[in-house]
Amino acid sequence: ETGVTQSPTHLIKTRGQQVTLRCSSQSGHNTVSWYQQALGQGPQFIFQYYREEENGRGNFPPRFSGLQFPNYSSELNVNALELDDSALYLCASSLGSLLAVGELFFGEGSRLTVL
Amino acid sequence: AQKVTQAQTEISVVEKEDVTLDCVYETRDTTYYLFWYKQPPSGELVFLIRRNSFDEQNEISGRYSWNFQKSTSSFNFTITASQVVDSAVYFCALSYNYGQNFVFGPGTRLSVLP
């Protein structure tokens, strides 16, 4: 076990709705990153938070947004859900700095289905 | 553009065979990190190794070994004497822009048959 927990594990939404996914990072880790993994594909980097600030973002539209809290837990929010948003959403925590990348420890993911 | 290529989509081997998973990356950065992750059927990504761009030493950890060659932009992973429990999808990943961006390869599905 990595110590990274995500909730909920499964959820079903309809197109146009909004969803919030949560992640508790491993104790002592200050960096959280989020990934979208469609079936049969590799994870796609959404964004990363370092000490409560977004410090990296992949090629995802603004309706994907996030937060990192003082205890370094994090949320991923997706507005105006589309069918293509159906995927496994993975959270990873690490102990990093502005110039160095730590080992990423992943949670088990939240599987989102959009109908 | 930053990119990770894993040309082998699926590999099947018989238990105790050696197997090498290929990873080729592209980046303009001179400082970057490379990773390998294992994703068993349970779905959780398991960290295997991290290597920074200035450390080209090969590494061995038990039955696992990694060959990093900057000249060919490759970071290949070999499993010696494979076991059924090695069956999983393996991902190679690149972190660039001082750790602010990540890109994963498409993965290689390894099946180890008894």
Average pLDDT over residues B104-112: 97
A96, pLDDT greater than 80: no
pLDDT of residue A26: 86
Q: How many CB pairs under 8 A join A and B?
A: 65
DSSP code per residue over chain B? --EEE---SEEEEETT--EEE--EEE-S-SS-EEEEEEE-TT---EEEEEEETT----EEETTEEEEEEGGGTEEEEEESS--GGG-EEEEEEEEETTTTEEEE---EEEEEE-
> Over 70: is that where the pLDDT of A97 sits?
no
**Average pLDDT over chain B, rounded to an integer:** 93
What is the average pLDDT across A81-101?
86
Residue B56: pLDDT above 90?
A: no
User: What mean pLDDT comes out for the span A28-45?
Assistant: 93
pLDDT of residue A99: 59
Residues of A in contact with B42 (CB under 8 A): 108
Q: Does A9 touch chain B (CB under 8 A)?
A: no
Tell me, what's the pLDDT at A48? 93
- What percentage of chain B exceeds 90 in pLDDT? 75
- Whether omega before A70 lies within 30 degrees of 0, making that bond cis, reads no
What pLDDT is stored for residue A98 in this prediction?
59
Mean pLDDT for the stretch of residues A74-90: 97
Verify whether the Cβ–Cβ distance B95 to A101 is below 8 Å: yes
Verify whether the Cβ–Cβ distance B101 to A101 is below 8 Å. Answer: no
The beta-carbon neighbor of A88 closest among B43, B46, B107 is B43
Measured between CB atoms, which of B4, B99, B105 is closest to A96?
Answer: B99
Mean pLDDT throughout A74-98? 92
Does the distance separating the beta carbons of B99 and A99 come in below 8 Å? yes
Q: How confident is the model over A64-91, as a mean pLDDT?
A: 95
Interface of A with B in 68-97 (CB under 8 A): 88, 90, 92, 96
- Mean pLDDT across chain A, nearest whole number? 92
Nearest CA in chain A to B35: A103
Least confident of A29-38, A45-54, B49-58: B49-58
For residue B75, name the pLDDT band (cuts at 50, 70, 90): very high
